Amino acid sequence: MKILITGGAGFIGSNFTHYLVKHRPDWDVTVYDKLTYAGNLKNLELIKDQIKFVHADICDQNTIDEQIAKNDLVVHFAAESHNDNSLLSPWPFVETNIIGTYRILEAVKKYNKRLHHISTDEVYGDLKLDDPAKFTPDTPYNPSSPYSSTKASSDLLVRAWIRSFKIQATISNCSNNYGPFQHVEKFIPRQITEILEGRKPKLYGNGQNIRDWIHTEDHSSAVLKILEKGVIGETYLIGADGEKNNKQVIELILKLMNKDSDYYELVSDRPGHDLRYAIDSSKLREELGWKPKYTNFEEGLKNTIYWYKNNRDWWQPLKDKTEIKYSKIGR
C-alpha cells in the first residue's frame, strides 16, 4: 500500500505516521507538509529513514496532483486548527481547510484514489453542560468559529464529491486529542510546560467548559481501522468517553506534577468558547470493532506529562513566542 499523509508533520498527523510505520511496516509512506509553525520535522526524526517527505502546500494543485497520482491512498490531516488563531486571522483557515481540501478532492477524482478525510467534533457546535446527549454522525452541523466553520465546509465538500463524482472516501470527526508532539499553544501542553517553567497554569473563564479527550494513539488506531474496514461514503465519530472540564484537567495535571490543586491563575475566557463536546463513537466500535487503549484519562495524561518532561529541547523553542502572543490578549 502506498499512502500519502497530508499534514503528517503536525501533531496528530505525525503521531499517525509513527503509528503506521510501527503497525504497517510494509506500507510505503509519504508525508506531505507545508511546515507552517505547527508542522515540525523533529516530529518525524525517529522514523525519517522509513518514510518519504514532500515539503509543499496542499493548495498547490500541480504538486498535490503529482503526489496523489503516485499513491493508492490519501489520509488528509492538513489543516489550520487552532481556534484562537482563527479568531485573530481567519483567512489561513479558509485557504487551507477549504481551498486545500478542494485541491485534494480534484486530484483524488482525477486519479481515482481512495481518500480519508480527518475532521473534528467542533463542526457540530456545542452542547449544554447538563445535556445528556452526545454528537452522532446525524447531528446537524452548527460551527461557531472560523476554524470549525472551515472544517465543516471541508466535510461538506468531501460529501458532495462522494455523491456527485463517486469518489472513494470516508470521513472521521474526532474529539480533542492530547499526547506527544502537541504544540505548546494547545490547552494541555501549555499547562504542563507552564508548570515545568515554574509558572502557574492558566484556566480560561470559570473552567467549566467540557472537552471529550482522546489520546492521540487511540485516534491513530481508529483511523487505521477505518482505512482497512470502513465503508466508503460513511462518517465515523472517534471518541474515548473522556469528558472532563478544564478545571478538572488542570487539577489533575497539578496532582500528577506534585502541585497544590489551586496552583493556577484565572485568565479571560476565549471569545465564543464552546461549552461542551461529547462523542458517541458506538458506530465505530460496533461496526468496525475498534476500542481505545487509554480508557483511563489519568494514565494517558501521566504518559503525556512524562513526554514533555523528557523532551524540553522539542518544546522550549516554541514556548517563549507562544506566551508572548497570549500575554498580548490577556490569556
Inform me whether the pLDDT recorded for 82 exceeds 80: no
**83 against 141, higher pLDDT:** 141
- The predicted-structure confidence for 157-190, as pLDDT tens digits, reads as follows 999 999 999 999 999 999 999 999 999 999 999 9
pLDDT digits (tens, 9 = 90+) for 241-261: 999 999 999 999 999 999 999
Angle in degrees, 0-180, between the axes of helices 187-196 and 297-309, rounded to the nearest 10: 50
- Residue 150 pLDDT class (50, 70, 90 cuts): very high
Catalytic site residue from 19, 32, 147, 308: 147
> Above 80 in pLDDT, residue 44?
yes
The three three-digit cell numbers of residue 88, written as one number: 485573530
Mean pLDDT score of the chain: 96
Above 90 in pLDDT, residue 73? yes
| For residue 292, pLDDT beyond 80 | yes
Residue 271 pLDDT:
79
Residue 331 has pLDDT above 80, yes or no: no
Point out the catalytic residue in the list 57, 122, 217, 243.
Answer: 122
Per-residue pLDDT, 87: 84
Annotated domain spans of the chain: 2-178+214-238
pLDDT mean over 11-23: 98
Q: 147 catalytic, yes or no?
A: yes
- Considering the candidates 121, 155, 194, 243, report the single residue annotated as catalytic: 121
265 counts as catalytic: no
Q: Is a pLDDT exceeding 80 seen at residue 84?
A: no
Q: Which among 40, 36, 49, 37 has a CA at the least distance from the CA of 15? A: 40
Q: Is the pLDDT of residue 270 over 90?
A: no
- Residue 81: in which H helix or E strand, if any? none
Sheet holding 243-245: strands in order across?
A: 176-178, 210-215, 243-245
- Cα-trace Rg, the chain: 19
**Class of 2-178+214-238 in CATH:** alpha beta
Residue 121 designated active-site: yes
pLDDT tens digits, 183-218: 999 999 999 999 999 999 999 999 999 999 999 999
Element (H, E) at 75: strand 73-76
How many angstroms separate the Cα of 60 from the Cα of each of 29, 33, 67, 114, 116?
20, 12, 11, 20, 19
pLDDT tens, 20-32? 999 999 999 999 9
* pLDDT above 80: residue 330: no
